[in-house]
Amino acid sequence: MSFIKTPAVPVESINPKVKDCEYAVRGEIFNHAQRLQEELEKNPGSRPFDEIIYCNLGNPQALGQKPITFFRQSKILSTLTGKSTGAYSHSKGVKGLREMIADGIALRDGYPANPEDIFLTDGASAAVHMILQLLIRSENDGILCPIPQYPLYSAAITLHGGTLVPYYLSEANNWGLEVFELKGRLDWARENGISVKAMVVINPGNPTGQVLSESNQQEIVELCRKEGLVLLADEVYQDNVYVKDKKFISFKRIIKSVYREDEISLVSFQSISKGYYGECGKRGGYMELCGFREDVKDQIYKVASVNLCSNTSGQILASLIMNPPKPGEESHKLFFSEKEAILSSLGRRAKALEDAFNSMEGVSCQKAEGAMYLFPRIKLPNKAIEAAKKASMVPDAFYALRLLDATGLVLVPGSGFGQVPGTWHVRTTILPDESKIPAIVSRLKAFHESFMREFQD
């Protein structure tokens, strides 16, 4: 007699929250791109392009950006336990490094920061998971989240068993937040028995690339104060601003200039993966807590302690990005020149891609103000939408897949970030080497013209 062995862990038996969460940035388009890359490596010339250009991830050094010299040469071991990166640190992170970060925050905002309110983590993503784990008790707890949004938030809310309460950014208003939209979503949630615990704001925006105005930020803070919401401020692109008429202002600075410490709870996130530094693989970041009671902070510390500590290399880099060389110091001249060269180049790349999209039939792209992305809207012909349905695909994913197969360019369908129903977008990074931008623009335009001609109504 023979027995058919069943899997020890059949997929039907795993946590349904894991099966339900999605992360479009590394979704099917990305997986197909990797298969094409393997094909090109085995059979050069088998495709109408000779390389895959990954415009889907905010991963600067993977696309050729050189690391900042100072971050590779700084002498900092004296602050570490055992003067080594191989030892466990305090669960919040090395105290001396948290003190350096607090000094940098104070210099940025003009208000003091307490090192004990700073938790160093393995990238900002780990901090987001930590705070959502604290806030979400059940599916009856909701988190206000922007649409379009970075899919970390929708995935994490699903994993932790909460409910995403979407609010739509205004594309016509350069992806700004409108208070009446937020109030409407709060009313909808409460009518459906959802207790909204917090509000996520991404500034500068991902995937939308906008930089919020100070007045818009003030409206957001006042709404959170009145409604008793924790403000989750994703500020990982704070160094990525490319237009002269906008500047980054932290939500902490907005709050401190008007309100008392106990009037609103804020969690602000920062990462070493973005900015001009792009140290994605080092996995470093932090969150700063403001306006939380001590007994709540004790619970957050308990969660951090379960993970022992974040990696010390990432901790070191987090301290350095918030406390870089200052004028007059030996390293400042080289540091400043490298930083400005990277940011200036990113600004030129953003403008070149923005102009390219706006020159294409049926495509509109809001001004590239900050972050590392553009999120152009594409008015797809009805025939293309019908063809996508026949292929059992979302229309913008159909467009992105056709683009990849024709050009080797990897973009992310807007449907992976959320969008107003009936509209279609794609997200592209501005990170490919500046020397490649003209070729990317040429490929985009040629493909789009061919696609629109093929599916013209």
What is the token pair recorded at 398? 């159909």
Q: Which helix (H) or strand (E) holds 233?
A: strand 230-234
Location of structure tokens 């510390």: 301
Asked if residue 161 lies in contact with residue 140, where contact means CB atoms within 8 angstroms, the answer is no
Please tell me whether the overall predicted TM-score, pTM, comes out greater than 0.75 for this model.
Answer: yes
Give residue 310's identity as a one-letter amino acid code: S
43 by DSSP, 3-state: which? coil
Per-residue pLDDT of the chain (457 residues; tens, 9 = 90+): 555 556 666 667 667 777 666 666 667 788 888 898 888 888 888 888 888 888 887 777 667 677 777 665 555 655 666 565 677 778 888 899 999 999 999 999 999 999 999 999 998 899 999 999 999 999 999 999 999 988 889 889 998 999 999 999 999 889 988 888 999 999 999 999 999 999 999 999 999 999 999 999 999 999 999 999 999 999 999 999 999 889 999 999 999 998 887 889 999 999 998 888 878 778 899 999 999 999 989 888 888 888 888 888 888 889 888 988 888 888 888 888 888 998 999 999 999 999 999 999 999 999 989 999 999 999 999 999 999 999 999 999 999 999 999 999 999 999 989 899 999 999 999 998 999 999 999 999 999 999 999 988 7
User: How far lies 13's CA from each of 2, 8, 19, 138, 407, in Å?
Assistant: 24, 10, 10, 21, 40
Asked if residue 152 lies in contact with residue 128, where contact means CB atoms within 8 angstroms, the answer is yes
Q: What is the pLDDT of residue 109?
A: 95
299 by DSSP, 3-state: which? helix
In degrees and rounded to multiples of 5, residue 82 shows phi and psi of 70, 10
String of DSSP letters for 142-158? EEEEEES--THHHHHHH
Q: How many CB atoms are closer than 10 A to CB 422?
A: 6
In degrees and rounded to multiples of 5, residue 157 shows phi and psi of -60, -40
What is the token pair recorded at 113? 């920061």
Asked if residue 233 lies in contact with residue 268, where contact means CB atoms within 8 angstroms, the answer is yes
Q: What is the pLDDT of residue 32?
A: 87
414 by DSSP, 3-state: which? helix
Residues in the chain: 457
**Angle of the 214-227 helix axis to the 179-191 helix axis, nearest 10:** 20
Give residue 417's identity as a one-letter amino acid code: F
Helix, strand, coil share of the chain (percent; to 5): 45, 15, 40
User: How far lies 267's CA from each of 92, 295, 377, in Å?
Assistant: 15, 16, 31
Residue 135, C-beta contacts closer than 8 angstroms, at least 6 positions apart = 141, 143, 162, 197, 198, 230
Q: What is the pLDDT of residue 346?
A: 93
Asked if residue 441 lies in contact with residue 85, where contact means CB atoms within 8 angstroms, the answer is no
- Looking at residue 234, the DSSP 8-state letter turns out to be E
Q: Which helix (H) or strand (E) holds 98?
A: helix 95-109
Asked if residue 129 lies in contact with residue 1, where contact means CB atoms within 8 angstroms, the answer is no
Domains of the chain: 11-66+334-454 (3.90.1150.10), 69-321 (3.40.640.10)
Asked if residue 251 lies in contact with residue 266, where contact means CB atoms within 8 angstroms, the answer is yes
Distance separating alpha carbons of residues 203 and 221, to the nearest angstrom: 13
Asked if residue 416 lies in contact with residue 27, where contact means CB atoms within 8 angstroms, the answer is yes
Distance separating alpha carbons of residues 342 and 337, to the nearest angstrom: 9
Which residues does residue 373 pair with via DSSP β-bridges, in sequence order? Answer: 429
